[in-house]
Amino acid sequence: MRLLMRHEPALRAYARALLPDWNSVDEVIQEASITMWNKFAQLEEESGFLPWGKVIVRFKCLSMVSALRRDRHVFSDAVLEQLAEEAASMEAEEHEAARRALRSCLQTFSKPHQELLLAPYAGDGRVKALAASEGRSANALYKLLGRLREKLAVCVQRSLHNTQHHAS
């Protein structure tokens, strides 16, 4: 469930590239969620969740398109496949741009602030361990972490905006 919640926006965007409206996307995501839940044991590594989920979403989209085709004109399978490939390619480019922006923005912070920003992803208790080593309360570090994350988010958004602006 945690993995689905983390990756749902990307899966929704992927489905929207293949489907004609958001109602269809909602229905496909709901069906795909059930399938993912039932087949979760087949997932080998959590890091592979998004590609695995996209395969399931793609098949659900193809089923939806078949059903819609009976009701009205929709894209052919070939066009649908091309759209899926382009959506995946664009998404990969966007993720890489975001990773570059994040790396660049992280470099603007001091080493202790970089360490604090990365601490929650280093394992359980890392923020508390940092607090103890600095003689500060964990609550104080979490408050600082919140402020640092806001600054980091602004920097990343600005960097992505500037990148998009220069690309067009």
Shared-domain flag, residues 21 and 62 = yes
Q: Which comes out higher in pLDDT, residue 65 or 80?
A: 65
Average pLDDT over residues 48-63: 89
Average pLDDT over residues 12-24: 84
For 1, the token pair is 């469930």
Structural domain count of the chain: 2
Shared-domain flag, residues 79 and 114 = no
Of 84-88, 98-102, 140-144, least confident by mean pLDDT is: 84-88
Shared-domain flag, residues 165 and 136 = yes
Shared-domain flag, residues 14 and 88 = yes
Shared-domain flag, residues 78 and 1 = yes
Q: Which of 67, 93, 119 is the last residue of a domain?
A: 93
Q: Which of the four pLDDT bands, split at 50, 70 and 90, describes residue 75? A: low
Shared-domain flag, residues 82 and 127 = no
Q: Are 151 and 123 in contact (CB under 8 A)?
A: no
Q: Is residue 47 part of a domain?
A: yes
Shared-domain flag, residues 121 and 84 = no
User: Is the pLDDT at 90 greater than 70, yes or no?
Assistant: no
Here the CATH number for the domain that contains residue 77 is: 1.10.1740
Q: Which of 36, 69, 93 is the last residue of a domain?
A: 93
Q: Is residue 103 part of a domain?
A: no
pLDDT of 77 reads 66
Closest to 32 measured CA to CA, from 47, 54, 17: 54
Domain that includes residue 36, residue range: 1-93
Q: Are 108 and 155 in contact (CB under 8 A)?
A: yes
Average pLDDT over residues 15-37: 88
d(CA 87, CA 16): 9
pLDDT of 111 reads 92
pLDDT digits (tens, 9 = 90+) for 115-162: 888 888 776 778 888 888 889 998 888 899 889 989 988 998 888 888
pLDDT of 167 reads 57
Q: Which of the four pLDDT bands, split at 50, 70 and 90, describes residue 57? A: very high
Q: Is residue 102 part of a domain?
A: no
> Would you give the DSSP letter of residue 21?
S
Query: Residues for the chain: how many in total?
Result: 168
Shared-domain flag, residues 84 and 134 = no
Q: Is residue 156 part of a domain?
A: yes
Shared-domain flag, residues 144 and 89 = no
